[in-house]
Chain A
Amino acid sequence: MANPLKVSEANDSRITPLMRRRLTNFRKNKRGFWSLWIFLLLFLVSLFAEFIANDRPIVIWFKSDLYFPIFEFYSETDFGGDFEAEADYADVHVQKLIEANGWMIWPPVRYSYDSHITDLASPAPSPPSTRNWLGTDDQARDVFSRMIYGFRISILFGLALTIFSSLIGIAVGAIQGYFGGLIDLVGQRVIEVWVGLPMLYMLIILASVVQPNFWWLLGLMLLFSWPGLVGVVRAEFLRGRNFEYVKAARALGQSNRVIIMQHVMPNAMVATLTFLPFITSGSVITLTSLDFLGFGLPPGSPSLGELLKQGKDNLFAPWLGITAFIVISVMLSLLVFIGEAVRDAFDPRKG
C-alpha cells in the first residue's frame, strides 16, 4: 500500500498538481486519514511483538556480560544451572541464579504466544487478571500476547497476499487488455472457469492434503485471489491502448513492453490502488475464516481465527470471543476506512 503522506512532506518537484489534489482529498477524509495513522501505529507496534510480549527477558546482565535471549540461545548452564537445555527464564530457580550475579529487563508482558502458564489461580481458560490482562485461553496461554502476534501475522499475510495477487493480476490484466483479441478471449474464459471454483472448499481440500504453513497458505490462496484485479486492469488497458499517445508511441517504434509499462500502466494504477485496501481486508478475512474452521495455520500458531474458535468452544469464557471480535472488527474497519479515503483521493469528481 502506498503511503502518500511521506511523499508530500518531501515536497518533491515531481509532484504534479493532480497528485497534490489527491493528497488534499485524502486528508480531507478525516476518518480515513486518522485510520491510516492508527493502522500504521498498530502495525509498527505489532512488528516489535517480541519486545512487548515474550517469555524471555530482553536483556540480561550476568557476571559482567550482556545476554540477549530474544535473539540467541543460552543454556541453563550458561547461568550456572544444571541442564544443557535452553534456560527457562520463567522458572523461579533460573531467575534467582541470574539475579544473584546481575539483573534482567523483561518485556511488559512476560508471556509469549506459545508459553503455557503452569501456575494459574483458576483452571484455564482463566478470566482477565492483573497478570493476564485479557485472561488465558483453554490451553493456558496469555490471550493478550496471542492477540498481538495474531494481529501481526494477519496483517503480514494480508499484505503479502495483496502484493503477490496484485502483481499477477495486473500482469494478466495488462496482457489481456493490451493485446485483446484471442488472448483476451481465451484468458477471460479461463478466468471465468477458475473463479467459478468454490474457493473455500478448494482450500479446505488442499489444506487437508498438505500440512499448511504460512507460505503454503499464501500460495494456495494466491491461486484463487489473483483474478480479483484482472477485470479492472484489463478494462483500463482496453481503454488505454486506444489513447492517441499510445498510438503515437507505436508510431515511434516503441516496443510493446515499454508501452505497457510506461504509457498505459500509470492509468491502470489509479483503479488498482483504490482496490488494494479492500483486497487486503478480504485476504485477512479469508485467513481468519480458514483458521476458524481449523484448516489454516498449523496448530499453536497465534491466530485471530483460532481465538475466535476458542471463543465459540468456550462460551463460558466471554473474554476469548470478545477479544477476537474487537480486534478483527477494528482491523477490518481501519482497512475499509483507509480504502474509502484512497477512493476519495482518486475520485476525479471531487474538486
Chain B
Amino acid sequence: MPLILEKVNSVCQKTLLDVRNLAVSFRSLDGDIQAVKGVSFVVNNGETVALVGESGSGKSVIALSILQLLSYATAYHPTGSIKFKSEELLGADIDTLGRVRGNRISMIFQEPMTALNPLHTIEKQIAESLILHKDYPRNKLRKRVIELLEEVGIQNADQRLGAFPHELSGGQRQRVMIAMALANEPDLLIADEPTTALDVTLQAQILELLKNLQRKFGMALLFITHDLGVVEKIADRVCVMEKGSIVESGETKKVFSNPAQVYTRKLLNAEPKGSKSAVDITAPVLLESKEIKVWFPIKKGLLRQVVDYVRAVDGMNIKIHEGETVGIVGESGSGKTTLGMALLKLQNSDGILRFDGKDLQKLTANGMRPFRRQMQVVFQDPFGSLSPRMTVGQIVEEGLCIHKIGENKRERDDLVVNVLEEVGIQSVHRNRYPHEFSGGQRQRIAIARALVLRPRFIVLDEPTSALDRSVQAQIVDLLRTLQVRYKLSYLFISHDLKIVKALADRVIVMRHGKLVEEGNSSSIFEAPRDPYTRELIMAAFHNRTSSGI
C-alpha cells in the first residue's frame, strides 16, 4: 500500500495537466454535434505531447476547452474534467481563468495575422500581458519586451518595437505571437497548428525555436497538428485522434515504428508516394512562354507617378510538353501563382505566350474562348473555388453551356454524370450544394469542372494544400490516373515538395519572380545545385534549417 501511494504521489507532482473523459458538444438546429467524445490524456512537466488528427477530429476544440475559450453560447461539456496543477478549469470562474490564461498557460494560434491586433504596435501587445498578470514596473517594461523579442529571434528588436503586425513577415508575426505567449514564462504552452500557415523553410525555423525555448524555460508543450512529420520531430508522446476520440497514444517513437491502430497506420502511410517517370522530350510543345513578365506598378505621390514595380514574375521561360507535369515550387510571394494565372491569360503579362503554336497575347476575350476550353485551372481552396449558391451539377455544367458542348440538357447531364463518377463523386449527389461535401470531395468536384471540357492543359494551383494528408494522397493518385488517360499536361504549383516529387516530371524552383533552378524531378531532388533549392528540400523533407539545430 505505501508503495502505491508513493507512486501516485510522484505522478501527481509530475502531472501538469490532466484531462479526463472530456466531451464537447455544440448545440445546433439539427440536434447536438459531438465534437469531442470522452478524451483523456496527461501532460507532464516539461514534456511535449502532440495531438494529431485530420481536420474535424476535434483537436482544436480540446485546446480551446483547456482555456475555456469556446463560444459557450452554443458549446457545452456533457462530461469531463480538466485539472491544471490539480485545479479544475472546467467551469472555473473568471478570476481563476484570468489567473491562468496567458500567465500559467499560453496559447499560440495558426494564423498570426488574425491573432494579432492590426491596430496596435507589437510592443504594446507584448507588454499587455506583462502588465495584466505581473503588474510589471513600467520603467522596466520596454527592456523586458526587447529581451523577449530577442529571445524569439527578431533581429534589431529595439527598432522593431513600434512596428505594426502588417509590417512584419509571416514568420516574424509568428515569432511575435510566441514572444507574447512566453512573456510570463508559462508552465504550459498550447500551440495550435503554429506552423501550418507558414512556408516550409519558416516552419522548420519556428519548430526549432519552439524546441529551444521549451528546453530553456522548462515548459510543457501541447502541440496540435495534422502534420506527422512535425510530430516525429518535436513530440515526446503522441495522441492520435479520430472523430473526437483518441484512438492511440504512446511514446512517439513507439507509435511511429509500431502503430497498433489501423487509423494510425493509415495516417502514417498517407504521405504521397512514388514519382513520375519523365516523358518523352520529343513530344510536341503544348505551351510555351518566353520572357514572360508580370510587373505591378508602385505609384506614389500626388500625381500617382509610377516610381517602381513589384516584379511578381520577371522573365520566365517555360515549355510544357504534351502529357508532361511541370512542378513549380517556391515560398509564398515567389510569384508561382501569378505565373500560373499569366499562362492562362487570367492575368495580363508581357512577353511571348504560345499555346499549341498560336500566339495568345493578342487575343481578345472572345478570341480566347476556344482556348479556354483547352486550358483549365484547379485552385487551392476547395471551399472558395465552388460557388456556394449553385448545385454541383450546375457548377460542372456551366462550362458545357459556355462552350456549347452537348446538344441538349439531357446530353449535358450525361456528360456531367460521367465526369463526376470519373473523379469519384456519386452522381446522384449532383443536386447537392458544395457545403454538403468534404474538402477532398470539393476538390474532386473542382477537378470535374475542369475535366468536363476535355482540356489539354490544366494549371493546378496548390490543389492539395488545404487538404488532409490522406486526402492529398488520393487526389494525387486521381490526378495521375487522369493524366495517363487523357494525356493531360499539368502545371503543378505547390510549396509542398513532397507532393511535387510525387507528381512532377520537371521542376522549376522560383524565388522573387525569377527562376532559381530547373531540371528533371529526380535531379532536382537528389542533387540540387542551388543553395536555395537545398534549403527548401532540407526544410521540406527533414523539417530542418540548413544551419541545423
Q: Which of A's residues lie within 8 Å of B, judged by CB?
A: 16-18, 20-21, 24, 243-245, 247-256, 262-263, 266, 351
Contact = CB atoms under 8 A, between A and B. Distances in A.
**B: interface residue count bin:** 35 or more
18 contacts: A21-B29, A243-B384, A244-B381, A245-B384, A245-B385, A248-B377, A248-B446, A248-B449, A249-B387, A251-B344, A251-B346, A252-B399, A252-B402, A253-B402, A254-B398, A254-B402, A262-B387, A266-B389
Contact of A251 (B372, B386, B388, B433): B372
A252 B372 contact: yes
A244 B375 CA distance: 16
A16 B446 contact: no
Given A247-B377, A351-B28, A253 B387 contact: no
Interface in B242-291: none
A285 B39 CA distance: 60
Contact of A249 (B369, B384, B398, B435): B398
The B interface, classified by DSSP as helix, strand, loop or mixed, is: loop
The A interface, classified by DSSP as helix, strand, loop or mixed, is: helix
Contacts, number: 66
Nearest to A13: B431
Interface string B380-397: 110011111110000000
A254 B373 CA distance: 11
B74 interface: yes
Interface of B: 27-29, 73-74, 341, 344, 346, 365, 368-369, 372-373, 375-377, 379-381, 384-390, 398-399, 402-403, 433, 435, 446, 449, 453
A21 B403 CA distance: 37
B402 A251 contact: no
A253 B384 CA distance: 19
A252 B381 contact: no
A174 to B, nearest CB: 16
Task: Name the residue in A251, A254, A255 with the highest tally of chain B Cβ atoms < 10 Å from its Cβ.
Answer: A251
B376 A251 contact: yes
Given A16-B433, A252-B453, A245 B372 contact: no
- The 6 tightest CB contacts between A and B, nearest first, are A253-B372, A244-B385, A244-B379, A244-B384, A253-B369, A252-B399
Contacts of A16: 389, 433, 435
B124 to A, nearest CB: 27
A253 B446 CA distance: 16
A351 B402 contact: no
A256 B402 CA distance: 12
B346 A253 contact: no
Task: Name the residue in A249, A253, A255, A263 with the highest tally of chain B Cβ atoms < 10 Å from its Cβ.
Answer: A253
Contacts of B385: 244-245, 247-248
A262 B74 CA distance: 34
Given A18-B388, A21-B29, 8 more contacts: A16-B389, A20-B29, A244-B379, A247-B346, A248-B379, A249-B387, A252-B398, A262-B387
Contacts of B449: 248, 252
A78 B300 CA distance: 83
A42 B29 CA distance: 33
Nearest to B446: A248
Given A244-B381, A251-B346, A251-B377, A351 B73 contact: yes
A17 B446 CA distance: 22
Nearest to B28: A351
Nearest to A254: B402
Contact of A245 (B344, B387, B435): B387
A253 B369 CA distance: 5
B10 to A, nearest CB: 46
A24 B29 CA distance: 9
A251 B399 CA distance: 9
Contact of A351 (B74, B375, B435): B74
Contacts of A248: 377, 379, 385, 446, 449
A21 B381 CA distance: 25
Contacts of B376: 251-252
Nearest to B371: A253
A192 to B, nearest CB: 17
A16 B388 CA distance: 10
Contacts of B368: 253
A245 B386 contact: yes
A330 B27 CA distance: 37
Nearest to A351: B74
A263 B386 CA distance: 10
Contacts of B341: 247
Nearest to A256: B365
Given A248-B385, A263-B387, A253 B373 contact: yes
Nearest to B377: A251
Contacts of A255: 365, 402
A20 B390 CA distance: 16
Contacts of A253: 368-369, 372-373, 399, 402-403
A54 to B, nearest CB: 47
A244 B380 contact: yes
B389 A247 contact: no
A266 B388 CA distance: 10
Contacts of B389: 16, 266
Contacts of A266: 389
